[in-house]
Amino acid sequence: MPIEDNLIVKLSFKFSVNTIKFIDSQHWGNKLSICNQLLKSATSIGANIREAQNSESKNDFIHKFKIAAKESEETEYWLLLLNEVGMNRKPLLIELTSIRKVISKIISSTKKLIDKPN
């Protein structure tokens, strides 16, 4: 499935690319461990969403999206921390907020499908 055909796959991929570009544009100095943590958690969001596209069941699909939601929480933490020390990351935080809303909606909608009596 092409990325353009799926909103959340597209948004999370773009977010990963933007995070990588941000990381490449900075001089990290003593914040290198934060850089590594941010890179791992930010790119993991999209990787789990992409993996969910080939899930074996609705429950597996939800599980993968819940992992993506957890990774988005961690990513927000690192971005807020960077914001606090003067590395303004508000554009990435805005992007992440949109992704988190879509993830939440997908999880709740899929749960309703599972819980719906036949």
The tens digit of pLDDT for each residue in 39-65 reads: 999 999 999 999 999 999 999 999 999
Cβ neighbours of residue 115 under 8 Å, at least 6 residues apart? Answer: none
Q: What is the mean pLDDT of the chain?
A: 92
C-alpha distances out from residue 15 to 41, 58, 71, 94, 107, Å: 11, 25, 13, 10, 20
Whole-number percent of the chain with pLDDT over 70: 95
pLDDT in tens, 76-117: 999 999 988 888 788 999 999 999 999 999 999 999 888 776
Instruction: Measure the CA angle with vertex 74, ends 44 and 100; round to 5°.
Output: 75
Count how many domains the chain has.
Answer: 1
**Residue showing tokens 């606090």:** 84
pLDDT in tens, 14-44: 999 999 999 999 887 887 899 999 999 999 9
| CATH label of the domain that carries residue 69 | 1.20.1440.60
Structural domain of 95: 3-115
User: What's the half-sphere exposure (Cβ side, CA atoms, 13 Å) at 87?
Assistant: 18
